[in-house]
Structure formats: structure tokens, C-alpha cells
Amino acid sequence: MSKAVWQGKIGAVALICGWMVMTGSAHAQTSPQPDSQQQQQEAVPSVNKSTPPEERPDPMKRRLSDRERVQQQKYLKNELKPDGTWKKWLEQDVVWIITDQEMQAFKQLKNDEERENFVENFWLRRNPNPDSPENEYKDEHYRRIAYANEHFAAGKPGWKTDRGHIYIAFGKADSIDSHPSGGTYQRPIEEGGGTTSTFPFETWHYRYLEGIGDNIDLEFVDTCQCNDYHLTIDRSEKDALKYVAGAGATLYEQMGIAKREDRMNNGLEQLGNGPMSTSQQSKQFDRINLYAKIMAAPPIKFKDMEHYLTSSEILKGPPFLFDVRTDYVKVTNDTVLVPVTLQIRNQDITFNTKEGISTGTVNILGQISNINHRVVQTFEDTVNVTVPSEFLARTQAQRNLYWKALPLRPGMYKVDIVIKDVNNPDHVGTWKRSVNVPKYDDDHLSASSLILASSMTRVPSKEIGAGSFVIGNTKVMPSVTTGPGVPATFKKAGNLNFWMQVYNLGIDDKSKQNNAEIQYQVTNLDTNKQVLDTTESTTKTNPNADQVTLEKSLPLGSLAPGKYQLAIKVNDGISKQQISQTANFVVE
């Protein structure tokens, strides 16, 4: 709608409202109780006749009543925010990034004010830096749309094409093998070998896609030769001579070992038979699985709990309280193990008793999302707590730990966890936090999380690196607190167990040994006095390693009840770097 037409409509609405109010008021001075319909018909001519044009009030300058102002604002909003605007936002702008839950929630909104709030929160949830006035994610998203429209259009906007979809959702590929004209193609042996001609095609290679895997190859084929490349899971689709008799024969077909019709019976991918054809057929399900992951989010088992991950729904019953701790352990430069530990108290679980056994059941659903709001990891499990019924009352104060180790790349993530008391369906608990997975560079001295553990034991050789609470060759059960700043509590009669790894120690070029001093200090925070100060050298414990694991158990019998701080300081004599880690704890 043009600006002139729009202004004309607004003026007409205001003019009509103004004349109705003005004429009604004028007539009210001559007749206290008029018949409204008749008086409106009589009042307008009387004003037109009795008031000279130059003395008539300007209806555009008259102050509107509250009802007129609301009607005018409603008209303006409908004019400026028609249904087409929201439809474009939903079905074009965010179609490749909005979740099913968000789309369903948006369609249930009743007015533009609710939709505007939804859109604002939609981008805020995806903002990698909420404190910044600029939303990097939103800017990058619309930049990708513009790029897709400019480079991938094919008789339709670029964002609608498969290449545009993948680019908007995952960004630029790490490498692209492009054949824009098709032409002669030497098949690799896994595709049957031999020479053929192809339609235009491209293979996009991603070294890593979170939630999907490593070394992902996506093939796009332009079978219509109209620049409309579509994503395919059948690598034979690019073969332009597949249905041409006597042309483009595979290696085995040239040797007379196979026939062209054999390709049509090879299942999903109609590739020629060859030395590797059996293994290729077994991987067809992998290609289907890859396509499903590219196009959709991972399935979630606990559907009744799923909506709690994406909404702020008010819980119906009393909240199901639980505590969560996250730690970070280096695996490789690009992968960090993030153990997530949940702590649930028996007193918060509903138990059912049958045949002398009381059983409580808790469903756990977790989801990890990156800064692009894409789900990269999900975990779901059921925890059963079984107690003899006669001991149930005595075990109410006991705590149960659940542990899940998640491999993630360095960066910012959001962790959403929902738990449900199966024996009391309205008893639901939620936990949402952002986590910053650190990057461990080879050139920098660094360390894992400092874990204060309620227990710490070595595991048999066959269990190394596997099983709950196992990190390397040690089973570490973290002491979980109610919050990040709350110190862990240990009994005076027990031990303070702590675990930490140090990475990237310097190695001397000549001796091929490290040279680091590790200092352990325990300070009484109530008196500000050190009760322990000891040092050890890595040249005596692990002289040739650039990574060391610190596992210690400190008896607490000599410490008075109170609040303490454990500090571990590492001074690397080779690289001349220092780091330190601290953790507070309470002795009672």
C-alpha cells in the first residue's frame, strides 16, 4: 500500500470519527435527550449551514476520545502488521531454524503484541552475547539469507533451494567440489569405476557438524540443468548416462562381469557392482540416517517432558528440586568431555511400595544447544531407586547421583534438563544454564576442572574410560552442591578427595623432560591461616609427560570444623607459565 493511500485512509477514518463526535456534541446543546439516529442526520446539515467554512474546527487537530484512539491504533497496527508480515517471518525468514515447538507456540498467539514479544524473545534466546546491543546470530542469519538469495536462486529465491537451506542452517562448507558443467567423470572404485558423463553437481564437505558427526559430505545434483541443485543421498543420480544403453559403463560392465540392470537392483544407491559394492550397500542406512539428521532434530523419548525444554511453562505441582554440576576434561584439542552430574534426594522422590520393596522412578531428559540454538546433544534416561520398605524412612536424607559425560567442541552452549517423578506426574523439575566449554591450546598451560569428590577409586583395566563417573582410570564421584558458589561439605572423620588434570607442560628439547612445581595449599577461611602448604615436582612423578593427573586424598581429622579453601598452583619451569585452581569446602 502506497504512503499516499495509507495517509488517505487514516485521514478518512479520523474525519468520520471527528464529524460524528462534533455533530453529536453540537446537537446536545439544543436537545438533552435526542434520538441518536435522527439527531445525527439533522445535526450535520445544521452545522454545515450555520458555520462558515473558515470558522469550522479542523477535525484532524481535535483531541480524540480514548475509544477513537484505540480504534485508530488498531487500524494502524492492522495496516502496518498484516498477517502477511508474520507469515513471511514464519515461513521464510526463520523456516530453517525455528523448532517445531516454537512454531506451534507462535501459531497459537492471538494478537500482534504477543507475536512481537515472541519474535523479540526468539532472537534473544539465540544471542551469543545477551549483554550486547547487537545480536550477532540474527545479523549472521540474515546475511546468510541474503547470500543464499544472491548465489543459489533458480527460478525461485535462493533460500528455498536445498543449497540455500543447508547454507543458512550450517554456514559455509569447509570445502566444495564443484562441477558446474557436469561432463566427463571418472567414477571412484566405490561407485563402480569406469567413465561416464554427469549432470552438474557439487559435493560440500564439512569437517564437523555438531550433533551430526565428523567428515560430512553432502552431494547436490542439478538434474534439470537449471541451477536448481537438490540434495541427494543417491550418488548415482548425477550419472547422466545411467539409462542410456551402451554408454557410461562401469568397470565391471566393461569386463563383462556385471550388467547395467544390476545397478537398478542395488537398493537406495544405484551404483555399479565393483570390488567395494558390498560395503557400499551396507552403508546405505548410514546415508539415510545422515539425511534425517540434516533435515530434523534428534527424536526425544520423553515426549511429555519435551515442551519443558523450549518453554517457560509454569509447573502445575510443587517443583521437583535437584542439583547439577558441570565439569570440563580435555580429550583432544577439538573435543572436551563435559561430565554433567545430577543430585536428587530421596525425600523429593515419590516411592511406591509393593511386597516389602519401595521403588522410586525418575525420568531424566537433557538437551545441549549451541549459540545458533541448534540441538547438538540430547540424553535421556530412567533412574530407579529401590529401598526395603522398612528402611525407607531412614534413607530420606540420602542423595542419588546421575552422571552423563558429553563430548563437545569448545564454545558457548545452553544446557536444559528436565526431570519427572514417574509416580507423581505433576512433580516436575527444570534446570537451565549456559556453559562455556574451554579451548585447550597446545601453547598454553591449562587444567581441567578441579573436582572435589565424595569418593575416588581406581577401576579395573577393562573399565578404563567407560562407565558412569569414570574419567581415565579413576572413578570420581563429584560432590554436588546447591549452587556454583556453595562450598562442598565433608565429614571431619572422612577424607577430602580431589582430582585435576594439567595439560601442555613444557618439555625441554635436550632432556625431553618436563620441569613443573605443583603447590597444594589449604587455608582456613575463618582465620585466614594456612593449614597445609606442600609442593611436588613433576620431574619425580611424571618426568616425560606433557600431561599429568593429580589425584589426592587428604584426611580431615586434624582440621577444625569450618570453611576452607583448596588452592592448586602449577609453575612450569620450561614454558615459564603459571596457572591456579581453587575450590572451597566445609568441614563439619
DSSP characters for 424-446?
STT-EEEEEEEEEEPP--TTS-E
Residue type, 82: P
Query: Could you give the CA distance from residue 106 to residue 162 in angstroms, rounded to a whole number?
Result: 25
pLDDT at 32: 41
Q: For position 109, what pLDDT does the model report?
A: 81
Distance between CA 498 and CA 488 in Å, rounded? 11
Q: What are the per-10-residue average pLDDT scores of the chain (588 residues)? A: 42 40 37 40 41 51 64 51 72 85 79 82 71 78 93 92 92 92 87 89 87 85 92 88 84 81 73 66 71 64 71 75 95 89 94 92 90 81 91 91 90 93 90 92 92 92 78 92 90 94 93 94 94 93 91 93 96 94 95
**pLDDT score recorded for residue 173:** 92
Question: Given this model, what pLDDT does residue 126 score?
Answer: 75
Among 495, 494, 488, 460, smallest CA distance to 474 is for 460
Measure the N-to-C terminal CA separation of the chain; round to a whole number of Å: 74
Cell of 412: 558457548
Please, are residues 182 and 198 in contact by the beta-carbon 8 Å criterion? yes
pLDDT of residue 333: 84
Whether 239 contacts 219, CB under 8 Å = no
pTM recorded for the entire structure: 0.53
Q: Are 171 and 184 in contact (CB under 8 A)?
A: no
Residues 383 and 364: their CA atoms lie apart, in Å, by 8
Query: The cell 514479544 sits on which residue?
Result: 117
Taking the CA atoms of residue 131, residue 136, residue 142 and residue 143 in that order, the dihedral angle to the nearest 10 degrees is: 160
Parallel, antiparallel, or unpaired for β 451-458 and 474-478? antiparallel
Helices (H), 222-322: 251-254, 260-263, 277-282, 284-295, 303-310
Q: Is residue 516 helix, strand or coil?
A: strand
Q: Which three cell numbers stand for residue 295?
A: 533435515
Distance CA 423, CA 406 (A): 29
Q: How many CA atoms lie within 13 A of 297 on its CB side?
A: 18
Residue written as grid cell 554440576: 325
- φ/ψ of 444, rounded to 5, equals -120, 130
Quote the pLDDT of residue 35.
Answer: 43
Secondary structure of 317-356 as H, E, C letters: CCCCCCEEEECCEECCCCCEEEEEEEEEEHHHCCEEEECC
Quote the pLDDT of residue 296: 62
CB 428 within 8 A of CB 363: no
C-alpha cell belonging to residue 74: 488498531
pLDDT at res. 61: 53
Render pLDDT for 449-505 as a digit per residue (tens, 0 to 9).
999 999 999 988 777 777 789 998 899 999 999 888 899 999 999 999 999 999 999
Inter-helix orientation angle 3-28/66-80, to 10°: 170
